[in-house]
A and B are shown apart, each in its own frame.
Chain A
Amino acid sequence: MNAFEFARATSVAQARELVAQKPGAVLKAGGIDLLDHLKERLVEPPRVVDLKSIPGLAKITANPDGSLSLGPMATLSQVASNAGIQKSHPALAQSCREAASPQIRNVATIGGNVLQRPRCWYYRLESYKCLKKGGDVCYAVGGENRYHVIFGGGPSYAPHPSNAAVALLAHGASFVLEGDKGPRTVAAGDFFTLPSKDPQRENLLQPGEVLTEIRVPSAAGWRSSYEEIQERADFDWPLVSIAVAVKSEGGTVRDARVVLGAVAPIPWRSTRAEQALVGKSLDEAGATAAARAAVVGAAPMSDNSYKVGLVQNLVRRTLLSLA
């Protein structure tokens, strides 16, 4: 990595100022993803500004109305082991528990997890000057794309890596971003952006903006679940992940959110699957119909068509686990 200056911020305002002072300066949360970028020289910042020293940013608050206010610096372990969240928002707790390895979960933050860059092996190696690094080609096209996307691809095909984001989307969360014009709140469903808009970004966060809070509405009346399929049992990225939240009345689904991970450049909400569920009962027939709907429009690459079948099986199985 390059030699850089290390600064500890004591407030969000100061952190933003420390970054603004030095073009190319970066923020550090848990530092897991940043360290990988530094070691591979994907970034060579003159200054790294640590957010860990800011008091209060790791707080997890369960509000009286059932909603959650998550400090972005809360670690994945803290979210996963929070008894209240396990009960109120099970998909979220599960998604944080499934991420990475125990050692990493103890350091990695939920904010960092949501904002981390893709794990595409081309993006992660300095030697491949790919679209995501300002180059002019996505090496996954016609290349080694077994782990790449089946939805929303083009011109870049790297899947979004966040587990937590998949669950947050299913829970209808929103992100509070603090920038030059003060704080703004963006729904998770609007926050993530496709490469067709800009292949070098995965979300709306502007340079100099800081994620200061994750708001998760009350999940009263909802049942939710998260599952991911990975080759290794631990310390592996999902082939496919899924978060499902369902609201039923008298055996009939009234509202549903089906969100898929690792299959698109953003956490992929399958509105087709949701529509297939609403008004139906959560049984074999309903789950199978939703599973079929979930893969409509899938566009697998040369080596990843297995993800289509995997998505169907997972949608069906996760829905039935909530029946």
Chain B
Amino acid sequence: MSQEAKPPEAPTVTFTVKAGHVSNPQTLEVHAAEGDLKPWDLDSKLRVVKGRQPRLDGKYKVTGRAKYTYDINMPGMLWAKMVRASVPAGQIVKIDTSKAEALPGVKTVWTTDSRSVRFAGQDVAAVAAVSPEAAEDAARLVEVTYDEAAYVTDLEKAMADDAPQVYEPDKVPGPKDVPKKGNVVGPTSPRRGGNRGDVAKGFAEAAVTVEETYSVPVHTHSPLETHGVIAKWEGDHLTVWASTQGVLTVRDGMAEALGVDRKNVTVITEHMGGGFGSKLAPSATGTAFAVVACKLAKQAGAPVKLMLDRREEHLCTGNAPSALMTVKIGAARDGTLTAVHYRSFGSAGIAGGAGTGGPAGALHGKCPNLKIEEHDVFTNAGPAAPLRAPGHPQGAFALESAVDEMADQLGLDPLEVRRKNEASPVRLIQYDVGAKAIGWERRNKKAGETAGPKKRGLGMANGNWYVFARGSGVGCEVRIHRDGSVEYFSGAQDIGTGFRTAMAMVVAEELGLKTTDIKPNVGDTRWPEGPASGGSNTTNSVAPAVRLAAHDAKMKLFAVAAPMLGVKPEQLDAADGKIFVTGSPGKSVGFKQAAAKMTGETISAVAERKKQYETYRGDLAGCQFAEVEVDTQTGVVRVVKMVSVNDCGFPINLLTTESQIIGAMIQGVSWALFENRVLDRNVGTMVNPNLESYKVLSAKDMFEAVPIVTEIANAGNNTSCAGIGEPCIVPTLGAVANAVFNASGARVRALPITPDRVLAALAAARRG
């Protein structure tokens, strides 16, 4: 999993690789599992991989031929609609479905067994009817009686001793050995990184200390396609078309919930309209809608479609927890950090997992003294779900704002302060690349020094992530057909990242073909297993298995081609649609000619992912630079330009890797400037459960987005790739906030950075 992982105990094969960045190559000996291939490294001459390949399914997406879950309909299908709790806390006294059942077109209903309500939006009942209109009408006729109870939705109020309790004392979730008091669970330390040294000693040694508190509200995933499924039973076999990041998670979740065998459940996700972590659960974190759809389908004896609406998407499918983070930093006059004490509280609603200490544990690695304390605070609100680098964008915003404040107090360049405390050789390279791309020398030497009401400035921040990969239980099948066509099969789903195209590139690389020659088949539990797409692990987990399968299929084809060329299969190589004798490219046979000679119709090779081994580095480095314009008369902030510098190991498809980096900048800027789930303080229900007043960055807010990949031969698997989806959003929030300060002198410590807050911060700055 990371550089700390021990070499596998099973038989290994040792490879010597040239790893790291091209500017500073490192010769490493790695111990791969027997049968694995030598990893691609800095010496590899790759023809396809690392190039820019447009998505193979792009034309289907732009012409509407790509069918998403939402687009799938079938004869006899029913439409389902859920009824959700309208109060934030209490007991369900009665659910009366008689009027709903009497409505023409209604076929069946479901009601919850649970009586406790802990957030407004919780599952209560569902109806299935012959049309979406009938289902909606019927859902409105379900009468629910509640015995309402006191509730708390505000993070800080929930921390108070006399706050209403979200859970009864004996039911508070969380590990046994962690302190629990009221709604608060903690302190804990992050799973990675963690404490070192002695912070009291570090602060005593510091010439300067900065201590500030930063906050981030709850942010919802808001994917374009809402959660949803179509469930269809044929006898004992259940097929589920799901908008999910994990077809296997859905399969296993449905099998368990419905008491059927996994082999009797098929889950299909051909195209998926975004999830960002909210679609990792079998249904979603705050609703069992998919299970309910399967039950309704069984009861009605007909396929059932259940797509959530936008309001439900905001209320019960997950969110990024809020965070209240106090950062204390001590430093010497030259900017050398002597201590970091990071303390955070956050609410994941009725769930845990609001920790934000990851960046503090990983960044500024030369600082000798570090203490991290994280706390979960329960509130009567929908449970969180992982959201693109869970906790890290929030934590990096706080930590990197504090470092920026420290630099300002010392009169130092914030980039120089970071260099001084940097432990990652990769980030040191990235600092130079990013500073050049943004023109760092243009930054205001004194914040807000530009003349005129509209002021520009630059800021930067760091981010971190980890190398996650599933080292087993991941497979791929590659088939070469007699006509020379090639296809691959991976159960893993393409969640919009371009996974299916990237895997086709790996096959093409190995077989010496063009990517467009390869037909991808992804997102189906009947095919070799792939991981759920979380932790930026999909490409990282699957690509090595794809390469192995393609390699094995190639060797089988070489066995067919060898007699044609009068050589041994081991002497052959493949490139440009030809199979040729290594060292004598003139001695060749066409790929198709060779395929035509196969016995039978298909050569098939199935490969399993070999274990991940020690890598060049187990962490992923990144940093970002932002240029913003602040209208100091109105408080409006516009991002002008962003530069995002990233390590993802080797990118497989540089084009879609850059696309993910651009997407993260957009999502991060939107988070920094606009997005904010608002729960009414008196009623406890959400006032902006839509995309009108839950504001996501608009087209006109778009800025010049510059994605940069610092290619690192990671050498932890045979493709040297790592992940990109999550690391690239970690620094964005902090970079924007720091740029706002550099532009205007307004230090906004609460996100989103809206005009009211900028005006208040400007007024505070004027007061000194």
Contacts and interface: CB of A to CB of B under 8 A. Distances in A.
Given A101-B698, A121-B693, A144-B687, A231 B755 contact: yes
A310 B633 CA distance: 7
Contacts of A2: 137
Contacts of B693: 119, 121
Interface string B737-768: 00000000000000000111001100000000
A310 B758 CA distance: 11
Interface in B657-705: 673-674, 678, 680-683, 685, 687-689, 692-693, 695, 697-701
Contacts of A122: 680, 687
A232 B695 contact: yes
Main SS class of interface, B: loop
A128 B86 CA distance: 11
A309 B759 contact: yes
B699 A313 contact: no
B674 A142 contact: no
B683 A139 contact: yes
B683 A229 contact: no
Nearest to A232: B698
Nearest to A227: B634
Given A231-B695, A314-B634, A306 B759 contact: yes
Given A313-B634, A314-B634, A233 B698 contact: yes
Nearest to B693: A121
Contact of B680 (A119, A139, A230, A235): A139
Contact of B633 (A119, A124, A317): A317
B756 A146 contact: yes
Contact of A310 (B634, B673, B687, B695): B634
Interface in A273-323: 304, 306, 309-310, 313-314, 317
Contact of B699 (A146, A231, A234, A310): A234
A232 B700 contact: yes
B674 A232 contact: yes
Nearest to A121: B687
A253 interface: no
B680 A143 contact: yes
A144 B754 CA distance: 15
B133 interface: yes
A21 interface: no
A99 B221 CA distance: 27
B680 A144 contact: yes
B353 interface: no
Given A127-B86, A310-B634, A313-B634, A239 B700 contact: no
Interface in A61-112: 101
Interface residues of B, number: 33
Contacts, number: 78
B669 to A, nearest CB: 11
A236 interface: yes
A309 B759 CA distance: 8
Contacts of A236: 695, 698
Nearest to A125: B687
Given A232-B674, A232-B700, A306-B756, A143 B636 contact: no
Contacts of A127: 86, 685
Given A127-B86, A234-B699, A143 B634 contact: no
B650 to A, nearest CB: 37
B451 to A, nearest CB: 16
A309 to B, nearest CB: 6
B271 interface: no
A321 to B, nearest CB: 12
Contacts of B682: 139, 142-143
Given A128-B683, A143-B682, A229-B755, A310 B698 contact: no
Nearest to A310: B634
B688 A121 contact: yes
B635 interface: yes
A71 B267 CA distance: 55
A304 B638 CA distance: 22
Interface in B63-77: none
Contacts of B687: 121-122, 125, 144
A232 B697 contact: yes
B698 A229 contact: no
A205 B693 CA distance: 28
Interface string B443-455: 0000000000100
Contacts of B700: 232-235
A322 B688 CA distance: 38
Contacts of B453: 317
A233 B453 CA distance: 18
A2 to B, nearest CB: 8
Contacts of A119: 692-693
Interface string B95-123: 00000000000000000000000000000
Nearest to B760: A306
Contacts of B680: 122, 139, 143-144
Given A125-B687, A234-B699, A234-B701, A229 B636 contact: yes
Contacts of B86: 127
Interface in B639-669: none
A2 B688 CA distance: 23
A33 B754 CA distance: 26
Contacts of A310: 634-635, 755, 759
A231 B674 contact: yes
A233 B633 contact: no
Nearest to A314: B634
B755 A239 contact: yes
Contacts of B133: 3
A199 to B, nearest CB: 19
Interface in A209-249: 229-236, 239
A309 B681 CA distance: 25
Contacts of B692: 119, 124
A136 to B, nearest CB: 14
Nearest to B86: A127
A144 B154 CA distance: 13
B701 A232 contact: yes
Contacts of A306: 635, 755-756, 759-760
A142 to B, nearest CB: 6
Nearest to B696: A232
A124 B689 CA distance: 11
Contacts of B688: 121
B144 to A, nearest CB: 13
Interface string A113-128: 0000001011011011
Contacts of B689: 125
A139 B635 CA distance: 27
A306 B682 CA distance: 22
Nearest to B133: A3
Nearest to B691: A235
Interface in A139-188: 139, 142-144, 146
Contacts of A313: 633-634
A233 B685 CA distance: 28
Most buried by B among A230, A231, A236, A317: A231
A200 B636 CA distance: 33
A231 B636 contact: yes
Interface of B: 86, 133, 137, 453, 633-636, 638, 673-674, 678, 680-683, 685, 687-689, 692-693, 695, 697-701, 754-756, 759-760
Given A3-B133, A233-B701, 17 more contacts: A2-B137, A121-B688, A139-B682, A142-B681, A143-B682, A144-B681, A146-B756, A231-B673, A231-B674, A232-B697, A234-B699, A235-B700, A236-B698, A239-B755, A306-B759, A310-B634, A310-B755
Interface of A: 2-3, 101, 119, 121-122, 124-125, 127-128, 139, 142-144, 146, 229-236, 239, 304, 306, 309-310, 313-314, 317
10 contacts: A146-B756, A232-B697, A233-B700, A235-B698, A235-B700, A239-B755, A306-B759, A309-B759, A310-B635, A314-B634
Q: Which 8 interchain pairs have the tightest Cβ spacing? A: A234-B700, A306-B756, A233-B700, A313-B633, A234-B698, A121-B687, A232-B698, A233-B701
